[in-house]
Amino acid sequence: MSVSEAGPFDRRSLRERTIAYLRGQIISGTLQPGEHVREVSLSDKLGVSRGTLREALRSLEGEGLLVNDGKGRMWVRKLSAQEIAEVFEVRTALEILAATKLAGSDRRAEFADLLERKVEDLREPDLGFGERIEADLGFHALMCELTGSGTLSRSWLQLNSQIRMMIIAAGPERAVGRMRYEAHLPIVAAIRAGDVDAVRKTLTEHMHDFTRRYVGDALAAEPGETPADRR
């Protein structure tokens, strides 16, 4: 069924359904980082007008999932090793701030319970790649949200698309092992204990490991990249 054929309970607009479909194609890896998004074939496949498709593509460009080459062509975004390092540097600072706030709160046990439940899905061995990404990032987003700071949460969410692109670029085989239930438990434990030093140490190590792995993947991919890959 094309995106133009909505089910009886799908009240989203055609544009919104198109965005959701394309986002899913990128997250699943069907549309690969560095791949050219071909408007004509996509509009025919999805049963939508070129105008609707372009609106959807512009929205995904705004999310950071696509980039425009300046000639009217869209490409699935591919992050450089430098960009990945910069994203993780900012992400680490934001998450340490968030977790420190939670650890210093009188409600820290409640927050720890909520975070532990949020990451519970990662225990499922058959969890789909997209679902695993949502569970993993949902934990970190919730950690920022629980601080009650809208500015902190919005700042973290601005990095969300770039973080997703790193995971997608790594692919299911490499990325799934990095999104483990057990890896999040020390963060929860440090918050529950109200141990600010442990919070900083645990999150720094957690993010440093991710940075090293994803930057390593990006550097390994760069020597043989094509001009499209660099977009």
User: Average pLDDT for residues 26-53, to the nearest whole number?
Assistant: 88
The least confident of 63-72, 116-125, 152-161 is 63-72
Residue-by-residue DSSP string for 116-177: HHHTGGGG-TT--HHHHHHHHHHHHHHHHHTTT-HHHHHHHHTTHHHHHHHHHHHHHHHHGG
d(CA 212, CA 207) in angstroms, rounded, equals: 9
Please answer whether residues 188 and 112 qualify as being in contact, where contact means their C-beta atoms are separated by less than 8 angstroms. Answer: yes
29: left (phi over 0), alpha (psi -120 to 50) or beta: left
Residue-by-residue DSSP string for 37-97: E-HHHHHHHHT--HHHHHHHHHHHHHTTSEEE-SSS-EEE----HHHHHHHHHHHHHHHHH
Q: Helix axis angle, 181-193 relative to 108-118, nearest 10°?
A: 170
For residue 3, count other CB atoms closer than 10 A to its CB. 23
Report the length, in residues, of the chain: 231
d(CA 37, CA 103) in angstroms, rounded, equals: 45
User: Average pLDDT for residues 151-156, to the nearest whole number?
Assistant: 96
Could you tell me the pTM of the whole model? 0.74
Domains along the sequence of the chain with CATH? 14-76 (1.10.10.10), 81-221 (1.20.120.530)
Q: At residue 53, does pLDDT exceed 90?
A: yes
Burial class (CB in 10 A: 0-12, 13-18, 19+), 205: exposed
Confidence of residue 135 (pLDDT cuts 50, 70, 90): very high
Confidence at residue 229, expressed as pLDDT on a 0 to 100 scale:
44
Average pLDDT, the chain: 86
